[in-house]
Structure 1
């Protein structure tokens, strides 16, 4: 009995890469994140076809394909900027295979989910995703990092397949609605990028007097400003809760400034 169970476990383990390799994954957009994401998919046993408008070569292990080849893969990840997503989807919707499962990777979720519902045929399955990491945070591996999945127009079994798949990557898989994602992201990712870009305007420099707290602030500037400036703009424009976050931040700053002003009167 023990030997039989062991044999079954070995057979199951051996079939996982084969199952993944038989599924063709398309990555549309081979910029900094798209190239990183395509490599991660290859690492986990998938056959990956990549397309980028100006890409001359694909990342190692990825097949450089035509636009139409990528659009008709079994699964299609759009790795384009938030602001470009609607136009790209409009230009490609009619050529996406009817059996293709489409996923975006935008850092906001309500907007791309809305566009996928509007522009794609109802027969096309869709999932909104947000890998909350990138080439910098994932350079030493993605295990333990958060991956958000929001069902849009997808059968439960297809959605569960990807939940299980990403859990096999040791990712911290978070299932939530698009609205919940954007509400929470405005006060986490959105505020971090806003503060990072604001601090960068001060042109802060390294100093021998740097405390641990100061070094943490400098690391925020480095992390956020290493991302494209367009990402910062898009996070603030396309997340409906970002303005509320900025107003809250401004109100808090005004309160602290007023308290300091009152203290100055005492001196």
Structure 2
């Protein structure tokens, strides 16, 4: 039987993401909310429950604002059964972990989780997740870690103290810088659109990143800034700004140059950063070209490893429609890498058909990407996409392998794929 999970705050953006992720991972999911959750539950195809029913679940996830963790833990914790898990998704950890430990009975395990991305993430592949164990999370820590890692996430396990200290810089400082940038533009009476004709590549990236931060939840970002670890970080930033401003006001060119050199030396690999950021800027320009090319024929490598080609149409800000010979795809720009003319010619010369979605049951700890590489080496296989289908229990996970094969002898190729999977002792569902 799959684990049963209750997401408290399941109608919020992150709660909806969490419920969808757990459902895709094979858990039996329900959501709870202060308001009517029936519409969200129906849309997500999950159940609906009350926090008072927390004792019916193996996992209770608190996906609520930081300042509501205490009251939510106080309501859910005492109702939970021994052996179950209480966890949160907060951006801070010291306060929430303390609240959960206070309200969860001794037999209930407590674990902090912080997905380092927003609710618009359709996949956790190559994204960071931090887990913060307590002195009673021995059973559930490896289970939750495997859940994220098998979906492709990079998991770091640390203490609440280290988490909050690191996030004071990663989130606290970064958010503060961009919010201050936005307030400065407001005070100057300058709108970003007014500067289109004068925009440099660096300003363009800064503008988009500032807009991304400014579009987030004001409540969440205010609570992050109120964290005790963020205050000294802000103070250091303001002091650095004041020092640089004083040098500029006084005409201390040598001092300003020395400060810049000192910061660069502390940063470290500035040459590497310049090269990496250059690639980001080039990629942004390449993807921007899509807007000018409706009707053009292009080839792309998708995030799941599949290669496709087709005609571009219906271009939007964040995605575009690609009409391939066999299907119409809506592709997010950040999930597609443009391929060159040679790849386009190769794909057109023998366009791969989607042969089959194959569900493979694999033990926890087995690497699905290794199996993908083995299958890709089979003659006739032109590409394979992999995604987590669902977790059966703490010992097994089912992966969906989308196998693309050449049209010639496609059934024979698919049989070789199946024979290879069976030969490795794996079960096809």
Same fold (TM over 0.5): yes
CA distance in 1, matches of 2:180, 2:18: 29
Note the 1:1-267 alignment, pairs <5 A: 22-30=2-10, 31-54=12-35, 55-57=37-39, 58=41, 59-70=43-54, 72-136=56-120, 138-139=121-122, 141-201=123-183, 202-203=185-186, 204-206=191-193, 207-238=196-227, 240-263=228-251
Q: 1:91 and 1:154, CA in 2 relative to 1: closer, same or farther beyond 3 A?
A: same
SS in 2 for 1:94: helix
Task: Give TM-score, length-normalised by structure 2.
Answer: 0.54
SS in 1 for 2:198: coil
Asked if the contact 1:51/1:70 (under 8 Å) is kept, the reply is no
Larger CA Rg, structure 1 vs 2: 2
Q: 1:249 and 1:208, CA in 2 relative to 1: closer, same or farther beyond 3 A?
A: same
CA RMSD of aligned residues (A): 2.0
What is the CA distance between 1:265 and its match in structure 2? 10
What is the CA distance between 1:70 and its match in structure 2? 4.4
Query: Which is strand-richer, 1 or 2?
Result: 2
SS in 2 for 1:102: strand
Most deviating of 110-119 and 241-250: 110-119
SS in 1 for 2:90: coil
Q: 1:265 and 1:148, CA in 2 relative to 1: closer, same or farther beyond 3 A?
A: closer
Unaligned runs of 5+ in 1: 1-18
Aligned residues: 243
Asked if the contact 2:54/2:76 (under 8 Å) is kept, the reply is no
Structure 1 residue runs of 4 or more that deviate by more than 6 Å after TM superposition = none
Higher RCO (CA 8 Å, separation ≥ 6 residues):
1
CA distance in 2, matches of 1:118, 1:66: 21
Asked if the contact 1:49/1:70 (under 8 Å) is kept, the reply is no
CA distance in 1, matches of 2:53, 2:72: 16
Query: Which is helix-richer, 1 or 2?
Result: 1
